[in-house]
Chains A and B, each alone.
Chain A
């Protein structure tokens, strides 16, 4: 990923900043600037997600690309945040401890690095609550 593309997404990645439609109460992550339900009546506000939720489903990654091979084997999960939206993120726990329905909370971790001299990407992962 380019340095610029990562940099623009820092608020989302570090602090789970998404949006909320104040008209219907739906939450969006990644952030949307338009409510697909309320359309022109939607009122979009910034929202920081609490960072708690549960594992909807997961897979164990045993062979990864060069950027992530340092972390294998690791748990990649679809997580449903308590406010509603789902996102894909790593759960930092041993693969045999991962379970569907498991409660998780956000943590701040290294996501990857561009080799030994490139940028270090930080962001949100999850751990069992």
Chain B
């Protein structure tokens, strides 16, 4: 029998600032009700002036490690998935490794695969852990998402991240299986040296999001001989609230199954953080034996599916779920910004110059 890898602990981080979608619509003279109704998103998170992908990744990783004591030097791999790494060349993962005390005996790399680079990091850690190359690996999805001023993406591009420590000894959730569906699809991209990404407009949904998540999800259900009813919860990539609701329905998952992990209405799209924060929010309320279906999505394009089963360890003494803030706590008591302050937080005034 192959010994499976699992989630040892997890943590999330969301900056405390928000801007209401109605405020962005006001500035661009757009109809706020139409936009909010179309996206199902009411507000989105904004980083503080001194926060970026690296600081968010570090806070998420530290939250994970405050829930469970794991010898930092035993973390042998650090992967940070993002499309907004602070440097073009110089890994965010090294900064994270140093800040959690895992350096120098570790491997590290930054991943890029639009919004699914973090779940690709989970798969890499699973491989390293299951082949006994490392004891623990940490995979993080973190972004300060970019959308050009006035572009449709600006209404949802948000900031946040989540970290998952993967290991084999007494995990709080077993990753029973993972599989992926990937093709070369130009639905969303950002060329080297460009400030903001571009996208194929209305084109992106069908051949991108829906085709790839469906591809990975159906493959997973077939491999595991399960149907939507065998799962307690499901988490999908959430660029808005409409897409995950529709893909859930297409695959036979109910509103109740996706509810705990659907964080986008008051968070926005945190790109690489999106499905991972959704999984963190689901683990925040999960009980032993709960089964969780996860499918991420990254433009370009691909989807990673996971079949996860929560273990008794989540309620045992080794794991302290309350030792770090839950996703719903991180969404509480935000500080609202108007568009002028928002632009300053995002550095937009400087960038436009």
Binding site for B on A (CB under 8 A): 10, 14-15, 70-71, 92, 94, 107-111, 120, 122, 125
Name the residue among B48, B86, B347 with the largest chain A CB count within 10 angstroms. B48
Of chain B, the residue at the smallest CB distance from A116 is B350
Partner pick for B59 among A14, A107, A110, CB 8 A cutoff:
A107
* B binding-site residues for A, Cβ under 8 Å: 48-52, 54-55, 58-59, 62, 86-87, 95, 98-99, 101, 335, 347
Is there contact, CB below 8 Å, between A14 and B51?
no
Cα(A71)–Cα(B50), bound, Å: 7
Nearest CB of A to B279, in Å: 23
In the bound complex, CA of A70 to CA of B345 (Å): 9
Contact of B101 with A125 in the complex, beta carbons under 8 Å: no
Task: Name 27 A/B residue pairs within 8 A (Cβ), A-sorted.
Answer: A10-B98, A14-B98, A15-B98, A15-B99, A15-B101, A70-B49, A70-B347, A71-B49, A71-B50, A94-B335, A107-B55, A107-B59, A108-B55, A108-B58, A108-B59, A108-B62, A109-B48, A109-B51, A110-B50, A110-B51, A110-B52, A111-B50, A120-B52, A120-B87, A122-B55, A122-B58, A122-B99
Chain A residues near B86 (CB, 8 Å)? 120
Given A71-B49, A92-B48, A125-B50: A110 touches B99 (CB 8 Å cut-off): no
Q: How far is the CA of A92 from the CA of B58 in the complex (A)?
A: 16
Q: Determine if A122 and B59 form an interchain contact, defined as CB atoms under 8 angstroms apart.
A: no
Shortest CB-to-CB span from A22 to chain B, Å, is 21
Question: Chain A residues near B52 (CB, 8 Å)?
Answer: 110, 120
Q: B99: which A residues are within 8 A, CB to CB?
A: 14-15, 108, 122
Across the A-B interface, give the 9 residue pairs with the lowest CB-CB distance, nearest first: A108-B58, A110-B50, A109-B50, A14-B99, A108-B55, A71-B49, A109-B55, A120-B86, A14-B98
List residues of chain B with CB within 8 A of the CB of A94: 335
Complex formed: what's the CA distance from A120 to B55 in Å?
11
CB distance from B345 to the nearest CB of A (A): 10
Residue of A nearest to B58 (CB): A108
- Chain B residues contacting A109 (CB-CB under 8 Å) are 48, 50-51, 55
Closest to B95 in A: A122
CA distance A122 to B49 in the complex (A): 13
Q: Which residue of A lies closest to B56 (CB)?
A: A108
**Alpha-carbon distance between A42 and B99 when the two chains are bound, in angstroms:** 29
Closest-by-CB residue of B relative to A113 is: B86
Report the minimal beta-carbon distance from A15 to chain B, rounded to whole angstroms: 6
Complex CA–CA separation, A111 to B54 (angstroms): 12
Q: Tell me, in angstroms, the Cα distance from A108 to B54 when the chains sit together.
A: 9
A92 and B50: CB pair below 8 A?
A: yes
Known pairs A108-B59, A120-B87, A122-B58; list 18 more (Cβ under 8 Å): A10-B98, A14-B98, A15-B99, A70-B49, A92-B48, A92-B50, A94-B335, A107-B55, A108-B55, A108-B58, A108-B62, A110-B50, A111-B50, A120-B52, A120-B54, A120-B86, A122-B55, A125-B50
CA of A120 to CA of B347 in the docked complex: distance in angstroms? 15
